[in-house]
Structure 1
Amino acid sequence: MTWKRNLEKCVRRCVRDRMELVPLLRMVLNKLASKMKLHVRLRVWVALATAYVLFMGLVHLLQIPLRSNTLHSHYDMSAEGVMKRHRALVKKEADKYAKAELQKSTAKMEKSKQVELLTDIFKKADTNVNGQLELQELSSWISIKTKEHLTLALRENFFMFTAIDQNPRNGVVSWDEYHYYFLKQHGYDDEFIKDHMYNHKGMPREIKETIMRDKAAWSEAARDNPDQLTIDEFLAFRHPESSHVTILNIVEEIIARLDIDGDSKLTEEEFSDPDTNQVPEDMTPNEYKQERIQEFKTIDEDESGSLDRRELLRYIDPRNVHHAEKEALTLLATADSNQDGVLTLTEVLDQSHVFMASKMVDAARSFHDEF
């Protein structure tokens, strides 16, 4: 055999080179052990293969079923069955988001719950664990919660759109489909919905107001057909802050309103002119102009002296950190009672109504109030 010849050559070489006996024996034993292990493995595999062949031959000869005829009989593998299960899973996921949205509202949270929530958020945002929130910590937390909300909004939009687009399933959502889904999520049964699809008599005032707001937002989001929305339009309807189309429309509106010379760019004078902008009641025109000049310099990334669409889009994008920094400054100015530049938990709780409506706590509510 080959391994024996190799072993003999090894022995002759060792003797010729006058190697010591112990290393020689060790080498011989290693060779033997290696070859024996290989033989054992080969014999095991041959035995297993033989047993498998004999077993399958016996099964074929006696026609023994390898699984029950009723196994997974409930699991419809047809195309229709697969789609049915897919729709059920999508509906379940969409219902989860809808119920979470109904339950997570902080607007009517009890005072004790507000204190508990704000305390928990304060501790999480206080990354250096010194019992104070600095501007950078507050800004970072708001930025994180903003990105979380925008990511969740995109995910929710897909599942909700797919779940609502049922009658018919045609890639668009009609107002009737959405309205039915909305009422269903608020606990109304099919018979009630059928009788009150267009007549909301008997419904709570809060739901009626929500329907009216939804109808107005629907009209703004619908670009082609006022009675139905595509998935992108549905995102603009449900979460305009996450929609690139909405942000682009805002930029176009700003340019159309402020671009006096019609060059599709905004100069510092055009951007900061109090006469073409809405000056807040708590600011003088000069104060407003100076603030807008500073804002202009922030937006003008290439320092060209004018703002183009790209710069405005990047600036208005809710993910831009300057939004978080601006809100953090506002919260700090509002709640920092001793003017030491940081916030304590007591200061936060003293202004709980301000923080509960901010992106620090409820990014969804804050965005929807803005848009």
Structure 2
Amino acid sequence: MSHILSEFLVNILVLSLVFGLAIPNSDDKTHKQKQDEHLHESSDGNHNTDYDHKAFLGEDADEFDQLSPEESKERLAKIVDKIDKNSDGLVTTDELKEWIHYTQNKYIIDDVDRQWKSHTGDDDSMTQLLWIDYKNRTFGFLEDMTVNSVSDVNTYKEMLKRDERRWKLADRNQDNSLSKSEFLDFLHPEEAQHMRDVVVDETLEDIDKDGDGRISVDEYITDMYAPDASADQVPDWVIREKQQFKDIRDKNKDGFMDRDEIREWVLPPDYDHSEAEAKHLIAESDTNKDGKLTKDEILNSYDVFVGSQATDFGEALLRHEEF
């Protein structure tokens, strides 16, 4: 029994290692971002402010320590001063949009720096990361251990296959190594035009459970919603999503999303996420309906922006000279 438990714990550790070093889906702003957007409204129909916190504060919002409302407001007030670039006492849509775009870019840059160092260490002279080195560091354990089940082996092999496909696309000069800028494309393919086919490929592979090369409405819903046997009824947002699939996602009305329809869903050409979120936050907090926010309006709606959570992240942003 102890041997079985030990193998189980080893496999859990290995999964953590792989998802920390390989390309975890949770780091991609593709169809996972779409899942988060669906959760902008909670299942009971109330507004889900967690989504706004992440948009306003970046991925670091997940690491926030619990603070009192007073402490949250104090830190938020300092951030508002940074957002108000012309110091006129008003936060406009453009200023808020720029801030949200900044937080998202900061997350990407920090993520690339962190993962680059995990592979190169503190050797600043390393300007290229070889595929063989990345592969050995990320998946080398497969040669040295017995995996618990066939499904585990297949999972790791699929992750390796995905990484290699991404790598080849990111490797623009085809020298089988990545510069740091190419590594950014590898980690965040949604940010690079030449990588967007792989975003569609991975979305399709994640959601298309029957492998027919398209996404049905049931597959689309199942990807973001697991029915609760104890629930009396399906949440309203799920019903709306099913209708959206039929009315909007499925352009040719054949009952499925094909590759072109998937691309338009996960990578809409004319959609500015930062602008949409900025407009939403202003609509939530603009009590006098003038289309702008005063510091008081933001602080009075602090729960929309940061809730009762804030960390040294806000102070770190204040120290960042680029914004």
* TM score, norm. by length of structure 1: 0.36
Which of 1 and 2 has greater Rg? Answer: 1
* TM score, norm. by length of structure 2: 0.39
Between 1 and 2, higher relative CO (CA 8 Å, sep ≥ 6) is seen in: 2
